[in-house]
Amino acid sequence: TSTMSFGAPVAPAPQLVGSCTSGTTDRLAPADHCVQSAGNDGISSLRWSSTANHLLSTNWDGGVRCWEVQEQGGQIRALPKAQVNHEGNAPVLDCCMSPDGNTVFSVGADKAVRMWQLGQTPPNNVPQQIGSHDQPIKSVRFLKGTNMIVSGGYDKLLKFWDARQPNPVAQIQLPERVYDMDTSDSLMVVACAGRHILTYNVQGQPQEHERKESPLKYQSRCVAAFPDNTGYAVGSIEGRVGIQYATKVPGKESFAFKCHRDGNNVYAVNHIAFHKGYGTFCTVGADGIVNFWDKDNKQRLKGFPAIHRTITCAQFNA
């Protein structure tokens, strides 16, 4: 793994939505929109529906929220549509959607995997529990190849769920707690405490492909699978991103680069999001900056001015 620096900005950035710890509208650009009713605490994840302009968020205040996003004449509006809450308003740490856009799966500090049918109000406004862990659950994803839900928790387990059954279909013991997880078709990548990174083929029965130590020297904060399933990007608390290929790609080698730094100040990379159409990606950090990157040409496409608040996550709607 090599370390390198990206070049100067050379192209405009794609559109995305991001969340910060708190804020006002005083720094919004003309085409930006401040989403209303975003919650009372930090936003832990964002997801777009693949079938409609529906935006989901999970929040440390225990809420899972849905907006309908509309665009007209270059202006964007997000209209609050629905909200559910985890039991006891326990912090919600992640969510995902079924491919048809009808079902939301969420996980969090209540140690439960929950399912919410959009358009329906569950009893007591608490989504149905379809699974559980012995410790808080950090990440959840839907596996298109098998129509299963996979959850990763602080109990050092991956569990695979069929929403129609109360017990996991399978589970995998991990070397450490799950810090982040992502999937892209047949590829699943899991970043654990202790700088462990594991990749799996999840086209059918989950099969471990590789386990290795992170190429970065400090704790992993986030991980994102390449849209073409050939590898992943991992971000750390030390303002650095590693580009790793899980399979051999002619002319491509793994490398790492520094980002989200200002002189001697080093900021965590909080989230990495890939644009599925272009294969470019963005990083957001504790420095309040959004950067866009092209890993294939090793270029920084654009960096936005700092908003002076931590940005926790971001997601493209493409």
List pLDDT tens digits, range 254-272: 999 999 999 999 999 999 9
pLDDT of 5 above 70: no
pLDDT of the residue at 75: 85
Report how far residue 83's alpha carbon sits from residue 247's, in angstroms, rounded to the nearest whole number: 40
Would strands 128-132 and 112-117 be described as parallel, antiparallel, or unpaired? antiparallel
pLDDT of the residue at 232: 98
pTM of the model: 0.91
User: Per-residue pLDDT tens for 123-147?
Assistant: 999 999 999 999 999 999 999 999 9
pLDDT of the residue at 73: 83
What value, to the nearest 5°, has the Cα angle with vertex 21 and ends 18 and 24?
80
pLDDT of 314 above 80: yes
pLDDT of the residue at 4: 44
- Segment 45-51 shows an average pLDDT of 95
Report how far residue 313's alpha carbon sits from residue 239's, in angstroms, rounded to the nearest whole number: 15
Report how far residue 149's alpha carbon sits from residue 131's, in angstroms, rounded to the nearest whole number: 10
Q: Where are the beta strands (DSSP E) in 13-155?
A: 17-20, 43-48, 54-59, 63-72, 75-85, 92-97, 103-108, 112-117, 128-132, 137-143, 148-153
Residue 166: pLDDT band (50, 70, 90) is: confident
What are the tokens at 6? 């990206």
- Segment 278-295 shows an average pLDDT of 96
Task: Give the Å distances, CA to CA, from 285 to 28, 39, 66, 222, 242.
Answer: 18, 20, 24, 11, 15
Percent of the chain at pLDDT exceeding 70? 90
What are the tokens at 143? 């596996």
pLDDT of 23 above 70: no
- Segment 290-314 shows an average pLDDT of 94
What are the tokens at 279? 């294969």
Query: How many other β-carbons are positioned within 10 Å of the β-carbon of residue 234?
Result: 28
DSSP 234: E
The answer to whether 216 and 229 are in contact (CB under 8 A) is no
Exposure string for 122-136, b = 16+ CB within 10 A, e = fewer = eeeebbeebbbbeeb
